[in-house]
Structure formats: C-alpha cells, structure tokens
C-alpha cells in the first residue's frame, strides 16, 4: 500500500507527518520525493548504503556528420535546438529527452547522449528502508528523479511518500499510483487556498484522501468548514506546541519521543491501512 503525504502549501508539516508515520511502520519503505529540497534524512538519519546517479537523455551531435539541414530543430517541440548558419546549438536544460531529434536526423549524426541531473540515496533505519532523491542546482525538472525513485518501490510493503509542495508536475508524479493521500494543512487562509487546489488534483486522480490539521491554535473553523463541504475526514489535529517545535529544530521526530503521539500515529496508520480513513 502506498500512502502519500501532500499539502499544496509548503511548510505545513508534510515531512513531520510523513516521518512520524514512517516510524510507526513495522516494516516498509519511505521515499522523500521533495527532491528540490529533501530534508527527511535529517530526521530519520539512516545509514546510507547506496547512491545512484539519475540521468536523462540529450542529443549528442556529431558535427562532422551533420549537414546542417535543420530537421532536428524543426522536430524539437521544446525549442531545445536552434540552427545558426550550419551550426546546431543544443540547450540541454530545455531538452526533455524525447528522442525526436535523433529519430529524424537523415544523416544519423545525432545519437542519444546522457547527462546527470541528480542522485538517489538509499539507507536503512531498523526495518525501514529510506530513499531520498536530490535534484542538482539549476536543474529545471524534478520529475525524472521522482520517476526513478518510484521504480524502487516494493509493492509488497507499506510505502510512505513525502511529496513535494505545490500541485505541479513533481507533486502529480509523486502521488500518482498512491492508494491514499494524507493532506496536511494549517488552519490559515493560505493553507486553505492551497489545500483546495491539492484536493482537486487528488480527487481527479481518484485517490481516497483524509486531512491532518497541523499547528492548530484551537480555532480550526476555516479548515473544518472546507473539510465538511468536501467530505474530507479530519484524521488528526496537531496543536501549535513549543515542545514539538523544539524537537523539530533538533531533528527529532516528535512521535519518537512523545509516547502519546507515537500512539496516535500508529492508530492513524492502522485506520488508513484498514481503509477506515476516507
């Protein structure tokens, strides 16, 4: 079973919830798919056993064979190629690796090349397998890394995915194929605004979902009204509490050292797995 934790708005507490949920697992996998700024390993502190490169395809042009006909430039839907005189210019950051250019080249002057855009690290904390992706600086697309991470999923296990913020391609890629989405929000107008968008995306994918309200100060009406309207069950409410914030700042998952929360995360996980949470 795959459980994804997403929020739309950044900074609502996705990673906190995801790692506490992962620690409540007897055995399973944890994937930090927020590859533009992964931070779950700061809390889980796994021993890294494995690192792998993530590469994407790019055109590799043989300038001797190239006749400068420009067929590749016309074939590129992403404007990653240009022709200046007889010279073909390649813009690797814009290339989507679609292979059109080397397929259309009448001179067979283009072959498929590769370039690295980031890496994936694997580690272990007891019986929890931890996987984290990291996109290199200045790279525009996180999607290939998330795709590669998801090939490492062992469907027989319970998998917790810490998703990226937002609702663009990386977030969609992260939640794709999930059996359940846990939506984390804060009871503020900003939290609600982005929650609305993420609910739309999750529902469009047909994934059952439930809500966690984080940093509650007692009055959660703004989130509760929306939850009621959308038929979203509120599965957990976490108060704005100094002890939780202090533990976070030290890189300690609060569910690990506060027994009452450890218990609540176990119950939450059980109800999701039993299908009672949506």
Q: Which residues bind other proteins (CB under 8 A)?
A: 73, 78-85, 87, 89, 91, 94, 140
The nearest distance, CB 79 to other proteins, in angstroms, is 3
Q: Are residues 80 and 112 in contact, defined by beta-carbon separation less than 8 angstroms?
A: no
The nearest distance, CB 75 to other proteins, in angstroms, is 13
Token output for 195: 């929650």
CB-nearer residue toward other proteins: 70 or 113: 70
Task: Compute the radius of gyration of the chain from its Cα atoms.
Answer: 22
CB-nearer residue toward other proteins: 85 or 259: 85
The nearest distance, CB 146 to other proteins, in angstroms, is 19
Strands 2-6 and 180-185: parallel
Estimate to the nearest angstrom the gap between the alpha carbon of 250 and the chain centroid: 24
CB-nearer residue toward other proteins: 52 or 78: 78
CB-nearer residue toward other proteins: 89 or 103: 89
CB-nearer residue toward other proteins: 85 or 106: 85
The nearest distance, CB 83 to other proteins, in angstroms, is 7
255: left (phi over 0), alpha (psi -120 to 50) or beta: alpha
Alpha-carbon span 1 to 207, nearest angstrom: 12
The nearest distance, CB 93 to other proteins, in angstroms, is 9
């Amino acid at each position: 079973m795959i459980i994804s934790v997403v929020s739309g708005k950044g900074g609502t507490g996705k990673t906190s919830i995801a790692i506490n949920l992962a620690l409540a697992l007897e055995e399973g996998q944890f994937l930090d798919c927020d590859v533009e700024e992964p931070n779950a390993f700061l809390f889980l502190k796994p021993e890294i056993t494995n690192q792998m490169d993530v590469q994407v395809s790019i055109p590799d042009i043989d300038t001797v064979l190239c006749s400068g006909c420009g067929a590749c430039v016309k074939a590129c839907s992403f404007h990653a190629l240009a022709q200046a005189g007889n010279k073909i210019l390649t813009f690797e950051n814009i290339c989507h690796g679609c292979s059109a250019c080397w397929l259309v080249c009448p001179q067979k002057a283009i072959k498929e090349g590769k370039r690295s855009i980031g890496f994936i690290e694997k580690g272990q904390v007891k019986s929890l397998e931890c996987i984290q992706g990291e996109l290199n600086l200045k790279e525009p697309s996180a999607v290939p890394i998330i795709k590669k991470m998801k090939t490492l999923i062992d469907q027989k296990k319970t998998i917790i995915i810490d998703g990226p913020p937002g609702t663009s391609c990386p977030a969609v890629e992260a939640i794709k194929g999930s059996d359940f989405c846990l939506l984390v929000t804060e009871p503020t107008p900003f939290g609600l605004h982005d929650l609305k968008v993420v609910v739309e995306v999750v529902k469009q994918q047909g994934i059952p979902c439930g809500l966690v309200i984080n940093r509650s100060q007692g009055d959660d009406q703004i989130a509760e009204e929306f939850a009621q309207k959308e038929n979203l069950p509120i599965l957990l409410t976490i108060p704005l509490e100094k002890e939780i914030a202090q533990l976070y700042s030290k890189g300690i998952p609060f569910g690990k050292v506060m027994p009452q929360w450890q218990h609540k995360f176990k119950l939450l996980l059980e109800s999701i797995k039993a299908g009672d949470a949506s």
